[in-house]
Amino acid sequence: MTPGAESRRPRVVVAGAGFAGLWAVQKLDGEDVDVVLLDRQNYHTFLPLLYQVAAAELGPTEIAYPVRSILRKAKNVTFRMGEITEVDPGERIVRTSTDELSYDHLVLAMGATTHFFGVEGAAKHAFPLRAMDEAVPLRHHVLSCFEAAAHEEDADRRRRLLTFAVVGGGPTGVEFSGALAELVHGPLQRDYPMLDMDQVRIVLLEAMDRVLGGMPEGLSDYARDRLERRKVEVRLDTPVEGVEATRIHLAGGETLDTETVVWTGGVKGVPGPEAWGLPMGPGMRVRVEPTMAVPGHEGVWVAGDLAYLEDEDGEPHPGVAPVAIQQGSLVAANILRVEGGESLREFRYRDPGMMAVIGRNAAVARVGGRTFTGFVAWVMWLVVHVAKLIGFRNRALVLVNWAWNYISFERAVRLILPYERKGRRPGLAPEEPGRVPEA
In this chain, which stretch among 21-29, 189-197, 355-363, 376-384 interacts with a second copy, using CB under 8 A?
A: 189-197
β strands within 223-378, DSSP E: 232-235, 240-244, 247-250, 255-257, 260-263, 267-269, 286-287, 300-302, 307-308, 354-359, 362-367, 370-373
Closest of 99, 70, 102 to residue 84, by C-alpha: 99
Q: Does 199 bind a second copy (CB under 8 A)?
A: no
Q: Does 5 bind a second copy (CB under 8 A)?
A: no
95 close to 86: Cβ distance less than 8 angstroms: yes
User: What residues contact residue 369 under an 8 Å CB cut-off, 6+ apart?
Assistant: none
Contact letters for a second copy, residues 227-246 (x by CB under 8 A): --------------------
Cβ-count burial 329-349 (b if 16+ within 10 Å, e if not) = bbbbbbbbebbeeeeeeebee
Which is closer to a second copy, CB of 194 or CB of 275? 194
| Span 51-90, contacts to a second copy by CB under 8 A | 59-62, 64-66, 68-69, 72, 78, 80-81
Q: Does 435 bind a second copy (CB under 8 A)?
A: yes
The residue within the footprint of a second copy, chosen from 7, 42, 85, 255 (CB under 8 A), is: 42
Which is closer to a second copy, CB of 375 or CB of 406? 406
Nearest distance from C-beta of residue 396 to a second copy, angstroms: 5
The residue within the footprint of a second copy, chosen from 10, 128, 170, 187 (CB under 8 A), is: 187
DSSP letter assigned to residue 311: -
The residue within the footprint of a second copy, chosen from 76, 291, 334, 394 (CB under 8 A), is: 394
Q: Count other Cβ atoms within 10 Å, centred on residue 439.
A: 17
Which is closer to a second copy, CB of 329 or CB of 394? 394
175 is catalytic: yes
d(CA 88, CA 95): 8
Q: Does 136 bind a second copy (CB under 8 A)?
A: yes
Closest of 149, 166, 146, 147 to residue 157, by C-alpha: 149
Q: Does 133 bind a second copy (CB under 8 A)?
A: yes
Nearest distance from C-beta of residue 5 to a second copy, angstroms: 12
Closest of 259, 263, 262 to residue 430, by C-alpha: 259
Q: Does 429 bind a second copy (CB under 8 A)?
A: no
d(CA 240, CA 294): 35
Q: Does 418 bind a second copy (CB under 8 A)?
A: yes
Nearest distance from C-beta of residue 92 to a second copy, angstroms: 20
The residue within the footprint of a second copy, chosen from 93, 123, 280, 397 (CB under 8 A), is: 397
Which is closer to a second copy, CB of 191 or CB of 241? 191
Which is closer to a second copy, CB of 111 or CB of 187? 187
Query: How many CA atoms does the CB half-sphere of 238 hold within 13 Å?
Result: 21
How far does CA 370 lie from the centroid of its chain? 26
Which is closer to a second copy, CB of 231 or CB of 414? 414
* Alpha-carbon distance values, 356 to 160, 318, 327, 375, 381 (Å): 29, 14, 22, 12, 7
Provide the Cα torsion 86, 87, 92, 97; round to 10°.
Answer: 30
d(CA 272, CA 274): 6
Which is closer to a second copy, CB of 62 or CB of 206? 62
Burial label, 391 (beta-carbon count in 10 A; 0-12, 13-18, 19+): middle
In this chain, which stretch among 4-12, 14-22, 36-44, 159-167 interacts with a second copy, using CB under 8 A?
A: 36-44
Q: Do the bridges between strand 286-287 and strand 105-108 make them parallel or antiparallel, or are there none, so unpaired?
A: unpaired
The residue within the footprint of a second copy, chosen from 91, 99, 254, 274 (CB under 8 A), is: 99
User: What residues contact residue 380 under an 8 Å CB cut-off, 6+ apart?
Assistant: 355, 363, 365, 367, 372
| Span 143-182, contacts to a second copy by CB under 8 A | 143, 147, 150-153
Q: Does 410 bind a second copy (CB under 8 A)?
A: yes
Q: Does 102 bind a second copy (CB under 8 A)?
A: no
Which is closer to a second copy, CB of 290 or CB of 391? 391
How far does CA 84 lie from the centroid of its chain? 20
The angle that helices 392-408 and 374-388 make with each other, rounded to 10 degrees, is 150
Which is closer to a second copy, CB of 190 or CB of 229? 190
> Of residues 31, 57, 62, 175, which has the active-site annotation?
175
Q: Does 191 bind a second copy (CB under 8 A)?
A: yes
DSSP β-bridge partners for residue 250: 240
Q: Does 312 bind a second copy (CB under 8 A)?
A: no
- Which chain residues interact with a second copy by CB under 8 A? 1, 41-43, 59-62, 64-66, 68-69, 72, 78, 80-81, 98-99, 132-133, 136, 143, 147, 150-153, 187, 190-192, 194, 391-394, 396-397, 400-401, 404, 408, 410, 412-420, 427, 435, 439
Q: Which residues are catalytic?
A: 175
